[in-house]
Amino acid sequence: MTQSEPITFGDVGVSIDLLQILDAKKLTNPTPIQEKCISLGLEGKDIVGVAQTGTGKTLAFGLPAIQKIRKGNCKCVIMLPTRELAIQVDEVLSDLGKSFGIKTALLIGGVSSYPQKIALRKKPQIIIATPGRLIDHIQRKNCNLSDINLVVLDEADRMLDIGFMPQIREILKSIPTKRQTMLFSATIPMEISDLSVQYMNNPVRIEVSPSGTSAKNVKQEAYIVKSENKQPLLKEVIKETSGSVLVFTRTKHKAKKIALVLRNAGFNAVEMHSNRSLDQRRKALEGFKSGKFKILVATDVAARGLDVDDISLVVNFDLPNNAEDYVHRIGRTGRAGKSGKALAFIEPNEKFKLNKIERLIKKNIIIIKGSEELTGVSDRPQKRYQGRKRRPSNPQWGRKNKPSRNSTKDYGRNSKTTAKRNKKRNKRR
């Protein structure tokens, strides 16, 4: 193989029968994270993988897991932060493993646990779960992890943000210490580093992109816009966009409100947030994927891992409180080498958030100067606040020039009265 030839899945150790399935899906060349993780995963080494969202982390741990299961010496549990991401991973691995008779069990909240209990009785080789529901099945003794020898933690920093770390530690304690652990995350905060030190065995750190790196093929722009002008501006932006649009809001109530406003304006819009049932969220996502809905309005529940092809535009209607969440949001567009665009609506008092984002991604975001009628922000230079003005002091009243008590010089109001009083005082002396 010459240096100019691209690396294939066969070059990193994927078996021939798996290669045939990948070829049928037109997957021949691994992404950088897949290229570095698959061979190490097949060797049984612990891995800490750092890569930006949308780089193909699912196959990076899924292919080694399926290939090791086929050899008969592996049983795997995969933990993810959200139901949607768990469903997506289950779809990918079930599709790859069905030809080999590999069974999966999907354990997520928001649905009845009884079908999950039945699936666990069939002794699946791969358990895909959110930590909360997995703990629930362990406590009910529906699930025994004593024979697990491969653990995958995907989107670990998101699980930390949600508050799943105590459950994850409890789950890891119930799994034999003689195991392989693979941890994947877009960022590595201190708590994740501590987790890797405590529960992993000399992990190999693979960093394809530094923490906080945004996708290179996403054009990032922003409007400085007043809060009351955001909705009209959003309508204008959507009118100018031919493809699908993903809109992020800070709260679920605003997501519902914006979706309703867009529907009343004649757009095909649907919302997705934590107040929606799992079935409603699934239908919304499927409708957005199929093109039934042009616009999906969502909270950060959709910011991680969701694989939707050809999203033309991501709009940050509200900037996230955490600058790193901005990276995950815009990672929904420009996937798999395609180009994309991301817009941010920044209120005049939120410029400090823009500065934080630019420091994180090490890139300047282009500010679009919209009309004052559209954004509510004037292009005229604003007077800067100079602080409270103080009355100029009389230099004659300075410390050195302070008049003596006996002085009769006129220093202002009531000076004659003061002089008479001083004369009387001098006569007494």
- pLDDT band at 427; cut points 50, 70, 90: low
> Worst-scoring range by mean pLDDT, 174-183, 223-232, 402-411?
402-411
Rounded mean pLDDT of 351-364? 89
Q: How far apart are CA 284 and CA 299, in angstroms?
A: 13
Q: How far apart are CA 142 and CA 29, in angstroms?
A: 40
- pLDDT band at 384; cut points 50, 70, 90: very low
pLDDT at 407 over 60: no
In which order are the strands placed within the sheet that holds 150-153?
A: 104-107, 126-129, 76-79, 150-153, 180-185, 47-50, 204-207
Note the pLDDT of residue 375: 72
- Percent of the chain at pLDDT > 70 equals 82
> To the nearest whole number, what is the mean pLDDT of the chain?
85
pLDDT per position as a tens digit, 51-106: 876 678 899 999 999 999 998 879 999 999 988 889 989 999 999 999 899 999 99
Q: How far apart are CA 289 and CA 236, in angstroms?
A: 23
pLDDT at 413 over 80: no
Q: How far apart are CA 424 and CA 429, in angstroms?
A: 9
Note the pLDDT of residue 4: 58
In which order are the strands placed within the sheet that holds 244-248?
A: 269-272, 295-298, 244-248, 311-316, 340-346, 218-224, 366-368
17 vs 214: which has the higher pLDDT: 17
Q: How far apart are CA 341 and CA 219, in angstroms?
A: 5
- Percent of the chain at pLDDT > 90 equals 54
Domains, in order of start, for the chain? 9-207 (3.40.50.300), 218-375 (3.40.50.300)
- pLDDT band at 108; cut points 50, 70, 90: very high
- pLDDT band at 395; cut points 50, 70, 90: low
- pLDDT band at 394; cut points 50, 70, 90: low
In degrees rounded to 5, what are phi and psi of residue 50? -115, 115
- pLDDT band at 181; cut points 50, 70, 90: very high
pLDDT at 355 over 60: yes
In degrees rounded to 5, what are phi and psi of residue 367? -95, 120
Rounded mean pLDDT of 389-396? 56
Instruction: Choose from 252-256, 271-275, 309-313, 362-366 the range with maximum mean pLDDT.
Output: 252-256
pLDDT per position as a tens digit, 290-334: 889 999 999 887 666 566 778 899 999 999 888 878 888 888 887
Q: How far apart are CA 155 and CA 172, in angstroms?
A: 16
| Residue among 269, 207, 247, 224 nearest 330 (CA) | 247
Q: How far apart are CA 330 and CA 343, in angstroms?
A: 9
What is this structure's pTM?
Answer: 0.74
Tokens encoding 201 = 């065995």
Q: How far apart are CA 276 and CA 255, in angstroms?
A: 11
